[in-house]
Amino acid sequence: DGGITQSPKYLFRKEGQNVTLSCEQNLNHDAMYWYRQDPGQGLRLIYYSQIVNDFQKGDIAEGYSVSREKKESFPLTVTSAQKNPTAFYLCASSIRALSGRDTQYFGPGTRLTVL
């Protein structure tokens, strides 16, 4: 089955540690996205990538980093510089880059808790 995989479902880290969230898709989609959801805040865009080896900052990129070395993978690193890292993180993908018309499909999310 094609889809978007995010692992793990729940992740705990100590304050000051970097942590990398995994996102893999086998849909052959060009574009991939990372969002963060906080209560009452909706979905806020962290980073997005339209093509391999290229990515753009979203609205809340500070304290995060990404890479896009392979089409199917778009890992997100939450660094110690992120002041409020505890949140629900969602990865998404869409078929074409730079479309403005394509639906984004979401993974199941990773709940990150920083202790």
Partner 1 sequence: DQQVKQNSPSLSVQEGRISILNCDYTNSMFDYFLWYKKYPAEGPTFLISISSIKDKNEDGRFTVFLNKSAKHLSLHIVPSQPGDSAVYFCAASARRGSTLGRLYFGRGTQLTVWP
What residues between 8 and 47 interact with partner 1 by CB under 8 A?
A: 31, 33, 35, 40-45
Dig out the tokens for 110 from the structure. 């990773």
Which member of 16, 53, 69, 100 binds partner 1 (CB under 8 A)?
100
52 backbone dihedrals φ, ψ, rounded to 5°: -55, 140
- Closer to partner 1 by CB, 9 or 16: give it: 9
Residues 6 or more apart from 83 whose CB is under 8 A from it? 63
Query: CA separation (Å) from 66 to 29, 39, 45, 46, 57?
Result: 17, 24, 13, 9, 10
**Contact between 95 and partner 1 per CB under 8 A:** no
Q: Which residues bind partner 1 (CB under 8 A)?
A: 4, 6, 31, 33, 35, 40-45, 48, 50, 58, 88, 90, 92, 94, 97-101, 103-109, 111
